[in-house]
């Protein structure tokens, strides 16, 4: 017993005990010694026996090697502007500008300093532009799956938090006047400062209150409201509502509605159209309410005159800018077309980030538009128009009728 209990872990004794065939008397003696062992020694004995009978094969690879050769050598050294547009949805110069703007916020994550800001932004753009899964991203950029997920969510949050106020603002001053003139020149709608519409981004059914997210188009979604200008640039975003909520309800709960009703959304500047004073307004589809500041088309279910049909045609033509804005955004940032498997709280952040990237690309499309950026900065510093522009002095139906006559007489 003493020999077995004190030298139980000795390989020589273990080999002697189990590689030769002992006599029955020796087996009885060894079993008696085994039963007299302490529990800890007995456990060690059983463990050694298991390793002897069932040897574990040698592990050849503890962690598979990942390569960043594609990103470091092929993308950074050989990609042309065309390659950047095709794969990252923007030119190299725009990518570098984006990295410059995000660097102060992304470098705060000191535990990820070994990964450059350029790599993090590139990973985020690739996911937003393709909707590719994290596993493939990890193989492509040479990073772990969990790290790809963390990088993506941190960068999206930085874009939505720090860049969206710089690129998405309701117009004031000179920019507002440029938009009003642009709508009339390009789309034929006078006194218009924007077009509004709702859009749905598909999601995986959430675990709680899933019926609230099931929309009229028969899929689960997050509802968003977007306003754009005549050049398809985003002016305002409201996101995060369950897909079941109607467009008119989203509008009624937004800051745009509150400001417009109080007369502080646009300056008190009106224009006489067919004998009716028309304020600056936005245009929307028949799902929205008719307001002095919101011009909507006639419902197709009504019996319409030829003049009203012509109005609907001109109105729809004016609304093509918001349709084009949303289509272009979803076409470029294709993750918005995938069923998103994120927490419902993160989806609105992602939508805002993609719309911000849409504006970033629009501004840099033909070189950096510094004048537009200066005007947006003025809008950020604008404190809003003073109350007193009473919208109750305007008749919404009379305004729409004035537009009917205006489009009919052209």
pLDDT, residue 365, reads 72
pLDDT band of 70, cuts 50, 70, 90: confident
Backbone angles phi, psi at 364, to 5 degrees: -95, 10
More confident residue, 47 or 190: 190
pLDDT at position 9: 46
pLDDT in tens, 217-259: 999 999 999 999 999 999 999 999 999 999 999 999 999 999 9
Spatial distance between the Cα atoms of 115 and 142, rounded to a whole number of angstroms: 11
Is the predicted pLDDT of residue 44 greater than 60, yes or no?
yes
pLDDT for residue 32 is more than 80 = no
- Give the model's confidence band at 394: pLDDT under 50 very low, under 70 low, under 90 confident, else very high: confident
pLDDT above 70 for 20: no
Instruction: Tell me the per-residue pLDDT of 340-370, one tens digit each, with 9 for 90 and over.
Output: 999 999 999 999 999 999 999 988 875 445 5
Mean pLDDT, rounded, of the chain: 84
Can you give the pLDDT at residue 43?
66
Are 189 and 183 a contacting pair, CB within 8 Å?
yes
Residue 90 has pLDDT above 50, yes or no: yes
How much is the pLDDT for 39?
65
Answer yes or no: are the C-beta atoms of 134 and 102 closer than 8 Å. no
Q: Is the pLDDT of residue 335 over 60?
A: yes
Model confidence pLDDT, tens digit, residues 265-285: 998 888 999 999 999 999 999
The pTM assigned to this predicted structure is 0.80
């Amino acid at each position: 017993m003493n020999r077995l209990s004190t030298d139980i872990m000795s390989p020589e004794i273990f080999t002697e005990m189990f590689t030769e065939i002992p006599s029955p008397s020796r087996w009885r003696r060894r079993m008696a010694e085994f039963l007299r062992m302490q529990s800890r020694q007995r456990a060690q004995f059983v463990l050694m026996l298991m390793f002897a009978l069932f040897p574990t094969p040698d592990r050849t690879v503890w962690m598979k090697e990942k390569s960043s050769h594609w990103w470091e050598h092929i993308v950074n050294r050989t990609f042309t502007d065309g390659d950047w547009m095709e794969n990252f949805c923007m030119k190299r110069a725009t990518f570098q500008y984006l990295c410059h703007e995000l660097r102060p916020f992304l470098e705060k994550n000191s535990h990820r300093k070994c990964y450059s800001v350029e790599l993090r932004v590139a990973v985020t753009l690739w996911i937003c532009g393709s909707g590719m899964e994290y596993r493939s991203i990890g193989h492509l950029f040479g990073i772990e799956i969990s790290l790809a997920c963390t990088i993506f969510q941190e960068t999206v949050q930085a874009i939505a938090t720090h860049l969206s106020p710089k690129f998405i603002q309701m117009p004031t001053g000179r920019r507002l006047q440029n938009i009003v003139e642009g709508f009339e020149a390009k789309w034929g709608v006078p006194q218009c400062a924007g077009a509004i519409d709702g859009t749905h981004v598909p999601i995986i059914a959430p675990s709680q209150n899933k019926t609230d997210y099931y929309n009229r188009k028969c899929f689960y979604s997050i509802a968003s409201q977007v306003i754009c200008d005549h050049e398809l640039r985003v002016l305002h975003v409201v996101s995060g509502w369950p897909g079941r909520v109607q467009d008119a309800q989203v509008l009624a709960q937004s800051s745009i509605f509150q400001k417009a009703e109080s007369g502080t959304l646009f300056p008190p500047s009106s224009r006489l159209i067919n004998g009716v004073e028309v304020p600056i307004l936005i245009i929307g589809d028949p799902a929205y309410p008719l307001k002095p500041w919101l011009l909507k088309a006639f419902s197709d279910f009504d019996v319409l005159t030829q003049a009203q049909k012509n109005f609907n045609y001109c109105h729809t033509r004016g609304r093509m800018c918001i349709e084009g804005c949303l289509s272009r955004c979803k076409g470029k940032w294709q993750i918005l077309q995938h069923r998103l498997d994120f927490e419902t709280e993160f989806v609105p952040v992602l939508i805002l980030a993609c719309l911000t990237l849409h504006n970033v690309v629009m501004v840099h499309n033909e070189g950096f538009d510094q004048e537009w950026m200066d005007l947006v900065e003025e809008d950020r510093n604008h404190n809003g128009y003073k109350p007193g522009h009473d919208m109750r002095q305007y008749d919404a139906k009379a305004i729409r009728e004035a537009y009917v006559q205006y489009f009919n007489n052209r």
